[in-house]
Chain A
């Protein structure tokens, strides 16, 4: 029992500020509360439940695809959504939807994680691949175009692949694992790029309601730290390797800046999201029109360029 004594000493005998019974296990970035593991599971799950209810993210009877990469966010999302669906009788049919970009040593490994999640959580999995949809894997694209614009190609392809997969599954909505840190980072990036159209859209918890399949972000207010702590304490099986083709220095810089701010004042993340939401964009600001690709009819201003570049 010496170990237990040691643990007691280290926590300075701090007790959970919610139950006041058990030893605190973490400090919440959102509230700075010190809480125990059990109370953390409760508040973490119930806050997400509240976000789902307050924003009416789902309706009973809907079929929902969870965009699953095998990474921490989507793994925790799949676990928490299936738990909440049971606990609160959402009446949802949940599916896992993965995109196989065809990146050896990265996506093939993370897809193995998703396949284990399929069994662990009992959620049917659909995988759509770039190779099947477009005839090209990312490995082949990089071989052809090099490492310069590959992330643009991949981003456009992934967006469309998720929609195509969602259509095949006949789902009503796609839920993605974007967390509060991701959204704060995107707000900042859109400001840094002067991309006012995206700045307006990026904080919306539901997007694409006018399109074929809307998307929603149940983790919009969930801190990355808490997602990783949750996965760690629950021993969830997730994959964590950076994409081998993504140097993306600009985004990396924004990410690091956000993390530095969080260390000084954790609220900064929620405040950046709030700033993003509350921006008023002058009516004289010219917005880019969303074009449609002549080749495939898909909404985008870039697909044609991509298609012609790849000689498809």
Chain B
């Protein structure tokens, strides 16, 4: 599945300072759909190069990291249970950096 992932608010520093990543995420064998939960563990394994604790806490994002799926707050679409579709755009923004 082709997705566009965007990292902002300082999170890009965890993935070699690249803000926008066009990625191809394969479904796990036997799975029919890709959820945000799956995507987060994929991102942690494949994109995050340093300090993963700045991005995740448990199986979700660290509190203070905002997530938008197609420019919509993931708190409206079920957070970890949000189902992703082809060409979706997922944005992660940290709110934890200085003001």
Give per-residue flags for B58-99: 1 if the beta carbon is below 8 A from chain A beta carbons, else 0: 000011101011111101110000110101100101111111
Within 8 A of B (CB), among A237-259: 240-243, 255-256, 259
Residue of B nearest to A32 (CB): B75
Contact with B along A163-203 (1 / 0, CB 8 A): 00000000000000111011000000000000000000000
What band does the interface of chain A fall in when counting residues whose beta carbon is under 8 Å from B? 35 or more
Q: A27 in the interface, Cβ–Cβ < 8 Å?
A: yes
Question: Across the interface, do A229 and B76 meet the contact criterion of CB distance under 8 Å?
Answer: no
With known contacts A255-B96, A259-B63, A232–B72 Cβ distance under 8 A: no
The CA of A6 and the CA of B3, in the complex, are separated in Å by 13
Q: Does A142 contact B (CB under 8 A)?
A: no
How many Å from the CB of A96 to the closest CB on chain B?
Answer: 14
| Given known A-B contacts A6-B70, A11-B77, A228-B66, A178 and B99 have beta carbons under 8 A apart | yes
In the complex, A229 Cα to B71 Cα: how many Å?
Answer: 10
A259, B10: Cα distance in complex, Å: 17
| A73 within 8 A of partner (CB) | yes
Query: In the bound complex, do residue A26 and residue B99 qualify as a contact, i.e. CB atoms below 8 Å apart?
Result: no
Please state if B77 and A25 are interface contacts (CB–CB under 8 Å).
no
Establish whether residues B63 and A256, one from each chain, have CB atoms under 8 Å apart when the complex forms.
yes
Please tell me which one of the listed residues A7, A9, A181, A228 contacts residue B9 in the complex, with CB atoms under 8 A apart.
A228
Does A297 sit at the interface, judged by CB under 8 A? no
Complex contacts, A241 vs chain B, CB 8 Å: 10, 13, 97-98
Assess A11 versus B76: contact at CB under 8 Å? Given A6-B88, A73-B99, A241-B97.
Answer: yes
Instruction: Give the tally of cross-chain contacts (CB within 8 A).
Output: 97
Q: How far is the CA of A27 from the CA of B68 in the complex (A)?
A: 11
Contacts of B71 in A (CB 8 A): 25, 233
A129 within 8 A of B: no
Q: How far is the CA of A259 from the CA of B88 in the complex (A)?
A: 27
Is B52 at the interface (CB under 8 A from chain A)? no
A110 to chain B, nearest CB (A): 8
Chain B residue at smallest Cβ distance from A34: B76
Question: Chain B contact residues: over half helix, strand or loop, or mixed?
Answer: loop
Question: Taking the complex as formed, is A45 at the interface, i.e. its CB lies under 8 A from any CB of chain B?
Answer: no
State whether A14 touches B68 (Cβ < 8 A): no
Contact A179 B99 (CB under 8 A): yes
In the complex with contacts A242-B98, A262-B63, A26-B72 CB distance below 8 A: yes
Please report the C-alpha to C-alpha distance between residue A55 and residue B98 in the assembled complex, in whole angstroms: 26
Whether B63 pairs with A72 at a CB distance below 8 angstroms is no
The distance in angstroms between the C-alpha atoms of A240 and B98, with both chains bound, is 7
CA distance A182 to B64 in the complex (A): 13
Residue contact A27 to B91, C-beta cutoff 8 Å: no
How close is B13's CB to chain A, nearest CB, in angstroms? 7
- Chain B residues near A232 (CB, 8 Å)? 8, 66, 68, 91, 93
B8 interface neighbour in A11, A240, A259, Cβ under 8 Å: A240
Q: How does the 8 Å CB contact mask read for A248-285 relative to B, with 1 for contact and 0 for none?
A: 00000001100110110000000000000000000000
What is the interface of chain A, defined by CB distance below 8 A to chain B? 3, 6-7, 9-12, 14, 23-27, 34, 69, 71-74, 177-179, 181-182, 224-225, 227-229, 232-233, 240-243, 255-256, 259-260, 262-263
With A6-B70, A227-B95, A229-B66 given, name 5 new contacts (CB 8 A): A10-B82, A72-B95, A178-B99, A240-B98, A242-B98
